[in-house]
Amino acid sequence: MPELASRDHQKNILPVIDLALKKADLELHHVNAIAVTLGPGLSGSLLVGLSFAKSLALALHIPLIEVNHMQAHILAHFIKENNVNESNDIKNKIPHFPFLCLTVSGGHTQIVKISSVNQFELLAETEDDAIGEAFDKAAKILGLPYPGGPFINKFALLGNPKAFKFPTPQLKNNNYSFSGVKTSFLYLIKNSVDENPNFISDNLNDICASYQHHLINYLLKNLTIVSKETNIKQIAIAGGVSANSELREQLASLGKQHNWETFIPKMEYCTDNAAMIAMAGYFKFLENQFCELDVIPLPRYGI
Ligand code: KG4
Ligand code: ZN
């Protein structure tokens, strides 16, 4: 609900910035530049963030840096952490150029080739719904809360991934399509509930496991083809859906099979976060890539 989202942005932007400064132990006069999302995204929400960022830059006499949200998801891989626990699976390693990134979020499903911090080439994308929508809409049909991806993930852990089958569309150019899968999911549930009103509660874990397994296989199938075609073996994932445990595990095991070096973001950098915007802004800051104060939001900003 775009209107509610933008009102929430207005309500939260000041407390969030106050809290961020406190946590970073900084004051506003320590800040050298303001990085802000120009798009893609919901117009009303982008407008709140952009207007606030412009005012701050103007008041503090510091430069404004515009950031592409999808580039920022990918550049989250370059965030360096202090005190990384080496026993953790996720080490502080960064991809070498060129690398491929499967960027999977609520609004996008893309395979991108990254040749430097400012060279992004879109190699494949969805032709209809995004993968996050495929998760969220299925969750809604099951009566789960929004966003439903994490709930499907949770129930899938306890289910049989082979209990139900879904179709895999074959498109040209390694593009994706999720609308057919979504429709077949809807009909599976509808027809089964007609026969057994308790179908969802009786089979929730198996439904979630099968649907998730299908979606993750489909994502990784095209990614594997693109890796072969480009001969790139540095493979990353990014975006909200990269928090999915099956995607993370399957990517790691595919990596071993195909001799890839894989890059899986820390959980807090998967779903939308400000650190990734700061990271993307930092690379532009180093190149003095500032923008004017008359920039406008770009809800459909391409990568
Ligand atoms: O990147 P993001 O935070 O926001 C956008 O830019 O869209 O992605 C949000 C999406 C939602 O569709 C949400 O259901 C999905 O990421 N998501 C997940 C998981 N965690 C978040 N999907 C599947 N499994 C998860 N664990
Ligand atoms: Zn996002």
pLDDT of residue 208: 98
Q: Where are the domains of the chain?
A: 2-75+271-286, 91-264
pLDDT value of residue 85: 55
Whole-Å CA distances, 46 to 131, 142, 256, 257, 270: 22, 31, 40, 41, 20
Ligand closest to 72 (CA) is: 2
- What is the residue whose two structure tokens read 């719904």? 129
Ligand nearest to the CA of 104: 1
How far, in Å, from the CA of 87 to the mean position of ligand 2?
29
- The per-residue pLDDT for 84 is 55
271 lines ligand 1 (CB under 6 A): yes
Q: Which of 67, 74, 271, 272 to mutate to test the pocket of ligand 1 (most atoms within 8 A of CB)?
A: 271
pLDDT along the chain (303 residues), means of 10: 95 97 96 98 97 98 98 97 57 90 97 98 97 98 97 98 94 94 97 98 98 98 98 98 98 98 96 96 98 98 97
CA distance 40 to 298: 6
CATH number for the region 2-75+271-286 comes to: 3.30.420.40
Same topology, domains 2-75+271-286 and 91-264? Answer is yes
243 CB near ligand 1 (under 6 Å): yes
Cβ–ligand 1 distance for 107 under 6 Å, the answer yes
d(Cα 161, Cα 195) in Å, to the nearest integer? 22
Give the pLDDT of residue 81.
79
Q: Relative to the alpha carbon of 109, which ligand is closest? A: 1
Q: In CATH, which of 3.30.420.40, 3.40.228.10, 3.40.605.10, 3.40.50.1820 is domain 91-264?
A: 3.30.420.40
CA 257 to CA 266: how far, in whole Å? 23
| Closest residue to atom 23 of ligand 1, CA basis | 149
Counting atoms of ligand 1 from 1, which one is nearest the CA of 245? 26
Give the model's pLDDT for residue 172: 85
Pocket flag, ligand 1, residue 161 (CB < 6 Å): no
Cα of 26 vs centre of ligand 1, distance in Å, is 30
Quote the CA–CA distance of 148 and 135 in Å, as a whole number: 6
Whether residue 280 contacts residue 71, with contact meaning beta carbons closer than 8 Å, is answered with yes
Residue nearest to atom 3 of ligand 1 (CA): 271
Check if 272 has its Cβ closer than 6 Å to any atom of ligand 1: yes
